Amino acid sequence: MSQEHKTALQIARDARLRPIVDVAATMGIGEELLEPYGRYVAKIRLDAIEHLQDRPKAKYVVVTAVTPTPLGEGKTTTVLGLAQGMHHIGSTAVAAIRQSSMGPTFGIKGGAAGGGYSQAAPFEALNLHLTGDMHAVTAAHNQLAAMVDNHLYHGNELGLSLDAITWRRCLDVNDRALRNVVMGLGSGEDGVPRQSGFDITAASEVMAILALSTSLRDMRERLGRIVVGFTKSGTPVTAEELRAAGAMAVIMRDALKPNLLQTLENTPVLVHAGPFGNIAHGNSSVVADLVGIHGAEYLITEAGFGADMGAERFFNIKSRVSGLVPDVAVIVTTVRALKAHSGAHRIVPGRPLPPALLAENPDEVQVGGANLRKQIENVRIHGVTPVVAINAFPEDHESEYDVIRAIAAAAGARCAVTRHFAEGGAGAVELAQAVREAAHEPNDFSFLYPSTASLRDKIETIATRVYGASGVDYAPAAVKRLELFERCGFGHFSVCIAKTHLSISSDPTLKGAPTGWRLPVREIRASAGAGFIYAICGDMRTMPGLGSHPAAEIIDLDDEGNVVGLY
């Protein structure tokens, strides 16, 4: 089979991986700090954070993107390709990425190991169970759910209001039939009947807590602060009050240890946590970064969705918790993505691309470039140096690259074309050089809002300064919740706005960088353990469904017991 036609799985199987103890040694991590899962995967003990403190601190690079399109812009492949590229220019790097959810892996999206010659390996382990962290989150979440219903069954001493219970159940499977369920049917021994539902595991607050915890003690305290519902008088009821947090912490103890893998070129990759990108902050774990920041000259991580969502949350939620200040933000774009943001093409996931999208058309790139300009601005308002990465495709044209270079130059940002997907680290040399130069420029990082600002001020600051909205419209129920959460002592929380990822606005049909619109906030919810409130600005699906022909139809074992069909 030719190199051009190999699948990601086939490319991964051809790679020559190093024993994971050797990969760890390049980070200064000895075998005594590892808990191996076979030859090529290991968990890193949390003791490594203190053990590495005397090593130099890495330059901290976050990879974000323009507003996503159904095509995918390639953030994960760029993280891994850039980490490999650093080694090609004589620098060392560690990558830190999120763990993929098996729901999308068996659905339409596929895995999250990167792709081509810039992927994390072992491919199968990463996209399936890995070290069981997803299952631990699922079990801890559902343990709390079981204790909520057990509390109701045994008299409801805490006075939980049945119509104000917010804690649902979760499962790492795409299953739309579980979005809304009625529980407790049957005899009186089968529980208290009530309506509830399931979310996918990545949407669990336990997952967000895993990603934001700085230590085992911190995670235990955060689990205790989870609010499962409210009494009729509006008093929050917590996991600690249900005496459920201890058992959850026991289930989650090993899951807090970050996972170590490697790229196809043996660059260390930390793979840990995968919080949902719409209703949570969509970034990999703090503890992984606390390890990686002393493991090489560069720590390169990713933020979910576009810079208006993942990067904004990286800056204002994750960095606020970790204390780590980013030096550079790489904004990934593609020619086809900017053409899509021109509004001239209709792109449907799973269907062939419109032929006109692939035709040379620098004018469309210029129109769609409004989105790139705004995302550069969104990085700069946090005082972080931007670098534009053009993820190259064979159908692109040099005239279209010239337009993107001009947009970046006009915004004062470096720009590089990267071909890491097809060429691995060698194809990312131009990008690596641009990032290395940018990382040594003076940085003036600042949060978008102070913790002391009101929740409304935080929401309105994000809406107007990052999204370009003219203002915010609150539903009456949202206003009441904001007032309740301020009274509950949640006013110092960060804000996570749950909106569509397909537009900078709250309307997925608006492309580019729309202005003059107003952000509609219909509901406010609290993730008290994670430490943020989220404002719901649309119909957010927290349990995906399967398409008419999901990947699960083609994933199988061959006669030798090898996985086939995984991508």
pLDDT tens digit sequence for 473-496: 999 999 999 999 999 999 999 999
Alpha-carbon gap, residue 20 to 24, rounded angstroms:
6
Burial of 153 (0-12, 13-18, 19+ CB in 10 A): middle
pLDDT tens digit sequence for 37-81: 999 999 999 999 999 999 999 999 999 999 988 777 899 999 999
Where in the chain are the domains?
A: 133-254, 455-536
What's the rounded mean pLDDT across residues 410-414? 97
Residue 538 has pLDDT above 90, yes or no: no
Residue 360 has pLDDT above 60, yes or no: yes
249: tokens are 């912490």
pLDDT at 434: 98
pLDDT at 1: 41
Q: pTM of this prediction?
A: 0.95
CATH number of 133-254: 3.30.1510.10
Percent of residues, the chain, with pLDDT higher than 70: 98
pLDDT at 4: 56
What's the rounded mean pLDDT across residues 513-542? 93
| Residue indicated by tokens 């993929």 | 100
Residues in the chain, total: 567
CATH number of 455-536: 3.10.410.10
CA proximity to 198, closest of 548, 544, 550: 544
pLDDT at 71: 75
pLDDT at 296: 98
496: tokens are 């996570």
Please compute, for residue 92, the number of CA atoms within 13 A of its CA located in the half-sphere on the CB side.
Answer: 16
Angle between helices 205-212 and 216-225 (to 10 degrees): 150
Alpha-carbon gap, residue 258 to 271, rounded angstroms:
7
- Which residue type, as a one-letter code, is found at position 230? F
What's the rounded mean pLDDT across residues 291-305? 96
Residue 541 banded pLDDT, cuts 50, 70, 90: confident
CA separation, residue 84 to residues 29, 119, 257 (Å): 19, 10, 24
